[in-house]
Structure 1
């Protein structure tokens, strides 16, 4: 895959830092010229002094024509040549500074439209409800301002957290590295590849991180190009993946229901021996079809809900609710959905539950230790208000089967639950 970004523009953060630095330096030197003119020439405004006004215009012109850094305008030779003529007209009092500022703004808008055309992934990721046809139409409509383009892109792609202060702060961090390659790469890895809350590599980012970390010459833009290319390929294959995922979900639901039925059947067999279950387990709802009272001896109720009920919680004991009530807490981030072709046979695929939720008399399930390790930090932050380190995740969950078994045996001595193979 060819990478257009190497030749098209520098690292975006480097460019932003350079622009801020050059703009600040130009402003400081222009203010110094104005102060000197007021002091030495006695003019109230520098425009009244032909000599000093010419120096101010020269310094402004050099801001663009002799910039030592790569900025948005440095490759636009025709514009820079035209700009020199504009500043000469201003020296001859044939053109105002406002006219020059308007021309610079117009060229910057043309540059921004060029970036969006050259890098269509900016449009491709705009899936936040923005009309993509309208966005593409704006690129060729001179009556739509750059600010309108920026606003629509932010609406579609989403604003970074803390925008715009967070972007400015990160640009300052990059500038503080003084372009040291190792420091810049370390900063990029922490900012763009890692989850700052869990310390884990972001979902689906590991292979990009490995490639970026292994190369001394690869730019961040190269990684963006690779992600965009993979995104386009992924869209082509999406229908087939959706079909596979639906089939996988069907098989998973069937397996869950089958395992639940086996456990419940075994529990009922044990209960038919000379043991009596707790009174709470007889508190069944009326029949969903006829509305009559249900014979508790003829019903298979959910073992997980039995355990929660006997802990002191409140759950429905029967009903078609396994998928809704006992699905993996990770949802769309579940490792089995992400790695649907990987069979976990290392003993880590047993369902586990959040220990703190168990203490609060409810069950929050994960399909495996591995899935809990990657996702429980977010759950503990939102449900319990505590920060969690990635290495602590395993000690914060318990095997669901052991919890259910011990609860049933504690509350109903002799009434056990075992897996039927």
Structure 2
């Protein structure tokens, strides 16, 4: 199977040989038969038509019309008519021209030029031009050259130079060197040419250029497929990375929320130096404990007691409620409670069994207070049970008493809390 350029070389050679033979016939006719035009000489005219017929029907080399049987049969009929003078040669020339255009379209449609385009859109546009039977062949050829033009082969001059070099090549090795130099240009770009070493070895090994081109196209499609697969895998990898990052971010947020909650709880616990349970001495949960409301009220309102009375559970609270009797059974309701003294220098018992008030001892007697140079401004408000003034009570105790009910109401108004 001849390469395309070999067909072109054969075409040029056979065309030139035919033209030379026709000129010789015309010259011989003019010299031998003294005719002004060869059409006036039946003998020479037959010889001229037969030579033109042999150009197409008895061609020894493969050319564009080889194998186009119906066309050649039609040409045979047309040459017979031309020999008898019935048909003008211009009609035959036009028919040959039309058939050659059809061959050209068929040829380029089967050359795989779509693979030479730079994008799918260019390939689609190229196919539309190939399918346009109304487009003149010259215009189509120009469009195709523009679609597949390579900077390495800028114009037809490069192809003409290539053909001229092939004409002068005397050996197969010389032709192969021309192929390699034209297609891969190792002298112009050695580094790039090294990438095509496999194809150059195929040419040196005797493979046809068509098989080399097929290998290049196959490798190109394979590379494109691999690139597409690589891009798909890369996209999947990026998607997995995003999903992993989102998952890790979610875990980090949850972990931070747990840490924040624990930190807040620890901070909340650290704000309160809670004593142990008043009953079982168990450490208290800062988020879950009970307190004696009246103890808290007396401590907050009047500074009485030794701190809050707290419980770890309802059980301890109930046990203490039943067992303890603090400050005249302080867990009785405010309505039942007797008055409690708020006089600053006195520590009062509730009542003796008969109901009268005890004389109570101050923690520091008045003489001791004076000795310690502590200001004493309440002597006029006291009455004494002994001359040493170690036992005494307020002259008008009612001024220094408040009922638990009033104390509870005052506390609730001040704090907005509810004591039940």
* TM-score, length basis structure 1: 0.50
Q: 1:223 aligns with which of 203, 212, 215?
A: 212
Question: How big is each residue's C-alpha offset from its partner over 1:177-229, in whole Å with a ceiling of 9 and x where there is no partner?
Answer: 24x3222222222222233335556263122123332x23x111110111122
Q: Distance in 1 between matches of 2:96 and 2:224?
A: 39
Aligned ranges for residues 22-421 of structure 1 at < 5 Å?
22-119=14-111, 121-127=112-118, 131-158=122-149, 161=153, 163-178=155-170, 180-199=171-190, 202=193, 204-213=195-204, 215-216=205-206, 218-241=207-230
Structure 2: gaps (5+ residues): 236-420
Mapped contact 1:17–1:171 kept (Cα < 8 A): yes
Judged with a 3 Å threshold, the aligned counterparts in structure 2 of structure 1 residues 200 and 24 are, in CA distance, closer, same or farther, namely farther
Mapped contact 1:128–1:157 kept (Cα < 8 A): no
Judged with a 3 Å threshold, the aligned counterparts in structure 2 of structure 1 residues 241 and 45 are, in CA distance, closer, same or farther, namely farther
Q: Distance in 2 between matches of 1:104 and 1:128?
A: 36
Mapped contact 1:125–1:157 kept (Cα < 8 A): yes
C-alpha displacement at 1:240, in angstroms? 4.2
C-alpha displacement at 1:48, in angstroms? 2.6
Q: Distance in 2 between matches of 1:79 and 1:15?
A: 19
Question: 1:343 corresponds to which residue?
Answer: none
Q: Distance in 1 between matches of 2:123 and 2:180?
A: 31
C-alpha displacement at 1:244, in angstroms? 8.8
How many residue pairs end up in the alignment?
235
C-alpha displacement at 1:122, in angstroms? 0.6
Mapped contact 1:11–1:221 kept (Cα < 8 A): yes
C-alpha displacement at 1:104, in angstroms? 1.2
**2:3 matched to 1:11?**
yes
Judged with a 3 Å threshold, the aligned counterparts in structure 2 of structure 1 residues 130 and 171 are, in CA distance, closer, same or farther, namely farther
Q: Distance in 2 between matches of 1:82 and 1:175?
A: 33
Range moving further from structure 2, 134-143 or 146-155: 134-143
Q: Distance in 2 between matches of 1:167 and 1:116?
A: 17
Question: How big is each residue's C-alpha offset from its partner over 1:218-258, in whole Å with a ceiling of 9 and x where there is no partner?
Answer: 11111011112222333333334567999xxxxxxxxxxxx
Judged with a 3 Å threshold, the aligned counterparts in structure 2 of structure 1 residues 28 and 138 are, in CA distance, closer, same or farther, namely same
Judged with a 3 Å threshold, the aligned counterparts in structure 2 of structure 1 residues 71 and 54 are, in CA distance, closer, same or farther, namely same
Greater relative CO (CA pairs within 8 A, separation 6+): 1
Judged with a 3 Å threshold, the aligned counterparts in structure 2 of structure 1 residues 204 and 244 are, in CA distance, closer, same or farther, namely farther
Mapped contact 1:130–1:152 kept (Cα < 8 A): no
Structure 1: gaps (5+ residues): 1-8, 247-421
Mapped contact 1:129–1:156 kept (Cα < 8 A): no
Q: Distance in 2 between matches of 1:177 and 1:30?
A: 29
Superposed CA RMSD in Å reads 2.8
Q: Distance in 2 between matches of 1:114 and 1:30?
A: 31
* TM-score, length basis structure 2: 0.51
Q: Distance in 2 between matches of 1:60 and 1:17?
A: 19
Judged with a 3 Å threshold, the aligned counterparts in structure 2 of structure 1 residues 186 and 104 are, in CA distance, closer, same or farther, namely same
C-alpha displacement at 1:88, in angstroms? 1.0
C-alpha displacement at 1:40, in angstroms? 2.0
Q: Distance in 2 between matches of 1:226 and 1:128?
A: 20
SS in 2 for 1:202: helix
